[in-house]
Amino acid sequence: MKKKKWLKISVIILGIILSLVAAALIFVNVYINRSKPVIEGELAVAVLDDDVIVTRDEIGVPHIEAMSDADLYRAQGYVQAQDRMFQMDLSRRQASGELSEVIGEAAVETDKLFRTFSLRDAAAKSLEGYDDEAEQVLEWYAEGVNAYMEEAKEEGALPFEFKLLGYEPEPWSPLDSLTIGKYMAYDLGGHWSALAFRHWALNEFTEKQARELFITYPDNAPSIIEANKAMEVKVAGEFNADLVPPEFNGSNNWVVSGEKTASGKPLLADDPHLGLSTPSIWYQMHLESPEQNVSGVIFAGIPGIILGHNEEIAWGVTNVGPDVQDLYIETPNPDDPTQFLYEGEWEQAEVREERILVKDGEPIDYEVLTTRHGPVISDVIYKEEDPGAVFSMQWTALEPTLELQAVLNMNKASNWDEFESALEDFQAPAQNFVFASEDGTIAYKANGRIPIRTTGDGQLPVPGDSAEYGWEGYVPFDELPVVVNPEEGFIATANNEVVGEEYPYHITDFWAQPYRYMRIAEVLSAGEDLTAEDMMELQMDKKNLYAEEFLPSMIEAVRVETDEFDDLLAILEEWNMVDEVDQAAPLIFRTWIRKLPDTLWEGKMPEDVYELMPGKNHITDQLMREAFAGNPGEWVTEFGGVEQWLAVSLAQAETEIAEELGEDAGDWDWGDEHELLFPHPVSGASPILARFMNPEILPVGGSNVTVMVAASDPDGIVDHGASWRFVADLADLSEAYHIVGPGQSGHVKSDFYSNQVDDWVEGDYHVTPIEGDVEGSTLILLAE
């Protein structure tokens, strides 16, 4: 009897719990739905002078039609905020070093880094240099963002992530937009970590060993090398390698002359490679007013269109990757750590007091020291012992720059002369711009501030106490690399070397591996009667020229050493060198390549220093080339020769794959360990949020060296690739072809949240028109 009673009570309790859970889920669902963007009907927006029509097409791209530029940019701010308000707020907080205020102690180190790098301070200095027109655009845009924000707060309709973190966003300002722009310069324009690593290596290894860890050893600067040995700065344990941007935030772009196209007009293609996330770093829009008609993408939080086309021209970019960050070895005064030695005297640094607010914690008072060269980036403030030397950093992006002004003028340009003139204000980060116009012109310019150094070439830190080191200015705008209408009939870049030995100025020695460019050039050179469809197909190309160069010699070397890997080597020998999702060979080759630096250097240096090490596979590539040519280097010889190095690395690769997929290589597929993920920034907090916020994970082909870039982390998660794909046919600029994965909206309940994930994998582009009626959901923003 008691047992039956207990069971009855248990059933009642279970029913109550399930009811509470159901009620909670209904409440959460209702709350989340309340913040879905209104995309149909009418909304009153007080800041507008006239009504604005916003039509979101079938893929979620907003087409904004306004009677003036003032209302166009106000509406742009409003619409971006509808879809991306949380992303925008998180972006400005990260760049400003203000994440701890809403996340807590876990973000303190990130905030310290961005406070030290001084991005918001640099943005404030930049804002002072903007002309009245550009500053007015920033104000109009902020008015639109704030109009949405005020409305959402009043109606309790802010994105639910704000509720999840327990805060409301502050009003938007022009400075916020420029700070986000400076963050993109950080993400695309740095090599300070490489300098810190090389400094460490010179002090830890023999000269021969250190020499092999440089892409090009600076033989012409013995004084700089000696200074690095004489004035050692602590590197191990100082820098969080997780905060260093991906080594090659690369991209592909190309433009083809009408002489090689079916239409007789140019074709242009662009696919910038950045971290893949939900929502995308890009927001696609079409902006139309009596003054302009422009379409493409922009970073959420910024007005205008940074990449895309108007009615007469199209353009795209890749990252040049020049050496624009220099480290200086600074000597602090033992009696006053805010002073540093310069030309025999102690010079006072600028001291900026920063207070980092920490959610559920005490505020942290933090000082940023800035020498004549730039901020001190070594973590010296809270060390128990005074260091003998620290690093400061000089960086082009920390100076006043005018990128948004350039963007606004690019949007209204109608030919190459006007476009190139606009580029003069695009100063950081340096970008490879390709251009095409309806008049048949194709052009290219490596654009941005590239330093001219008094001494050295930016490969090593230099003494900060001497006037013999520093920058003399920048490569003159008229002497930056430029190509217009070349005989080859096309121009392409893929972060590859863009200048020859005859170019008089130093750009960098650290170019991307050449394989993407080689494949693009191979296809375009052979192509005739090319079409937009051919360009889209090339953007999805998975041919692996890296394997084509190295694999035969790697297989031969292992066969000399051992006969243990016949099954694996047979799979690799039969491979067509295409990184298809259903093949084992790409998985074996990529894992093998990834193991080569680990085999040589893991355990030879602290883990955090190893993470800072630049171009690991660049270096192992060169070591293999030399070893195959009969000239094994110091590291390879010490290991026991190239044959043993490659055999041991292959054994490690086999073990790693077998632990995940089983012993039978016949059951292995690239897609099993190469899966696409667009992670949401809050999804890492719990598996429940990850399941709710992250789009579906899908197997995907390609790799880090194919034209269709799909770069994966050691766990096989593809988190880096084409954040936007774009193709324009200059024969008809009334439309163009796009993919923005995972989708347009940042709202998890939106139809446009992850509707382009499959498109990203399969290469299914959508057409975005800029003329005529657009079918979709129409929202009229009413002027009050």
Q: Which residues are known binding-site members for Ca(2+)?
A: 323, 326
CB 719 within 8 A of CB 680: no
Q: Give the count of beta carbons closer than 10 Å to the beta carbon of residue 684.
A: 12
CB 352 within 8 A of CB 375: no
Burial class (CB in 10 A: 0-12, 13-18, 19+), 742: buried
**What is the longest distance spanned by two Cα atoms in the chain?**
97
Cβ burial 72-90 (10 Å sphere, 16+ → b, else e): bbbbbbbbbbbbbbbbbbb
Q: How far apart are CA 775 and CA 182, in angstroms?
A: 36
H or E element that contains 281: none
* Of the candidates 174, 182, 185, 116, the residue with the CA atom closest to the CA atom of residue 143: 174
Taking the C-alpha atoms of residue 247 and residue 119, their distance in angstroms, rounded to an integer, is 20
Residue 254 β-bridge partners = 269, 492
* Strands annotated E in 251-299: 251-256, 267-275, 282-289, 292-299
- Encoded tokens for 476: 């003159």
Full 3-state SS string of 526-567: HCCCECHHHHHHHHCCCECHHHHHHHHHHHHHHHHHCCCCHH
Q: Where are the alpha helices (H) located in 451-544, listed in sequence order?
A: 515-526, 532-539
Place of tokens 């034209």: 707
For residue 314, what are its two tokens?
Answer: 């199209």
Please report the sign of the dihedral spanned by the C-alpha atoms of residue 769, residue 771, residue 777, residue 782: positive
Could you tell me how many helices (H) and strands (E) the chain has, helices first? 24, 31
Please tell me which residue in 251, 257, 649, 754 is annotated as part of the active site: 251
Phi-psi region of 333 (alpha: psi -120 to 50; beta: other; left: phi over 0): beta
Q: Is the Cβ–Cβ distance between 620 and 217 less than 8 Å? A: no
The length of the chain in residues reads 784
3-state DSSP assignment of residue 290: coil
Q: Would you list which residues are annotated within the binding site? A: 323, 326
Its sign, for the CA torsion 632, 636, 638, 644, is: negative
754 catalytic? Reply is: no
Is the CB of residue 439 less than 8 Å from the CB of residue 412? no
454: number of Cβ within 10 Å: 13
Catalytic residues: 251
